[in-house]
Structure 1
Amino acid sequence: MTKSDRGRMFRALPLGEILEQVLKERGLSDRLHKYRAFSCWARAVGPQVAAQTQPLRIRDGILEVRVAHPVWMQQLQLLKPRILARLAEYLGPGVINDLYLRQGRIEKNPSTTGAPTPLAWKSIKLGPAEEEYIAATLATVTDPDLRRNMERVMRRQAQVEKARREAQKSSAGSSSS
């Protein structure tokens, strides 16, 4: 498709809108909406509680949270109705129905823990399974420009995730010796 074959584009769509539409078409938008609980956790519980907790995963509407100390677990049990109400304000009712509290070590900054060195991900080679996954995911995208851009984004994301996993493995191996 050449530029002249396309109709005039009145406004460029933000990438977020495009991705949201693609996820919606693939039936993944509900799952993505649930995982927004991770990004709003600190606002929902406040900085003091957020420093002692770490959301881990969501299963069947239950948010699993790692808690640093038994005293904090007891406090969170008492605050559970208030926390669920705050999460419902951010995510909507019925997205998170309960909290499962588990004691464990809290990583100071989970977004950077195990992070590869800057740009280390660029040297990561994807395996055949990852390449097949990307190709299968994009098989129904007919617009070549959109397909190319989404492939680039998915490839980079896969490289970053693989680099992060490798960095975590190497840091876990060095800390156990």
Structure 2
Amino acid sequence: MKKSDRGRMVRALPLGDILEQVLQERGLSDRLHKYRAFTCWAKAVGPQIAAQTQPLRVRDKILEVRVAHPVWMQQLQLLKPRILARLSEHLGPGVINDLYLRQGRIDQNPQATAPHPPAWKSAKLSPDQERHIADTLASISDPDLRRTMERVMRRQAQLENARRAAQSSATGSSGS
């Protein structure tokens, strides 16, 4: 079939929808729904608890969770009804009915401890710096090279601004 013979695609489906449909056809959608508890765990319990816990598996509507310390296990035992209610909000009622807490070492959770970008990356450039970059790059005709050079020059200016700000705050605080 030639490209011109087929009708125009109205809208491409998101990959998540396609996967969900395939899993549903194979009778695995219930399992997938249960394991969504892993992705919503940090939202349901908050960053402080998420940093001390790690969901491991789901068996018979029971979510097994590894906990870093016995004190946290005791605290989570007290918070269990609230956590289950929150999980029900995210997953729907009856998906997870209980938590099984197990003490153990927690693998570093990238969602709970996502590093913040360095401050220099969000630094704004002055109008003079913007003008200098534009003037410097005006003679470059290749758009890809111009974009790359602009990115490099912006980052360099942001770094210099951050260094100057750090030096001025260090000299200002030491002089007090």
TM-score (norm 1): 0.58
CA displacement at 1:2 relative to structure 2: 3.9
Q: Is the 8 A contact 2:42 2:50 kept in 1?
A: yes
Structure 2 match to 1:40: 40
Instruction: Give the superposition deviation at 1:30.
Output: 1.4
- Give 3-state SS (helix, strand or coil) of 1:51's partner: helix
**1:87 to 2:77 alignment:** no
Q: Is the partner of 2:93 in helix, strand or coil? A: coil
Where does residue 58 of structure 2 map in the other structure?
58
Secondary structure of the 2:106 match is: coil
Alpha-carbon deviation of 1:24?
Answer: 1.4
Alignment of 1:99 with 2:94, yes or no, is no
Instruction: Report how many residues are paired.
Output: 111
Q: Distance in 2 between matches of 1:59 and 1:95?
A: 11
**Structure label with greater radius of gyration:** 2
Alpha-carbon offset, residue 3 of structure 1: 2.9
Deviation per residue, 1:99-155 (Å, 9 max, x gap): 0000001112368xxxxxxxxxxxxxxxxxxxxxxxxxxxxxxxxxxxxxxxxxxxx
Amino acid corresponding to residue 33 of structure 1 in structure 2: H
The question of whether the paired residues in 1 share the 8 Å contact of 2:51 and 2:109 is answered with no
Pairwise CA distance, 1:18 = 1.6
Structure-2 separation of matches of 1:20 and 1:67: 31
State the 1:22 CA deviation. 1.3
Counterparts of 1:125-144 in structure 2, within 5 Å, are none
Per-residue deviation at 1:63?
Answer: 0.2
Q: Can you give the 5+ residue segments of structure 2 that lack an aligned partner in the other structure?
A: 112-176
Aligned equivalents of 1:15, 1:51: Cα separation in 2: 30
Q: Does 1:67 align with 2:79?
A: no
Letter in structure 1 aligned against 2:8: R
3-state secondary structure, aligned to 2:101: strand
The alpha-carbon distance between structure 1 residues 32 and 72, as it changes in their structure 2 partners (threshold 3 A), is: same
Unmatched segments (≥5 aa) in structure 1? 112-177
Partners of 1:92 and 1:28 in 2: CA distance: 17
Instruction: Name 2:25's counterpart in structure 1.
Output: 25
Structure 2 counterparts to residues 114-125 of structure 1, below 5 A: none
2:6 counterpart SS class: coil
Q: Output one character per residue of 1:24-68: Cα deviation in whole Å (capped at 9) or x when no partner.
A: 111111111111100110111111111111000000100000001
Q: Distance in 1 between matches of 2:76 and 2:65?
A: 10
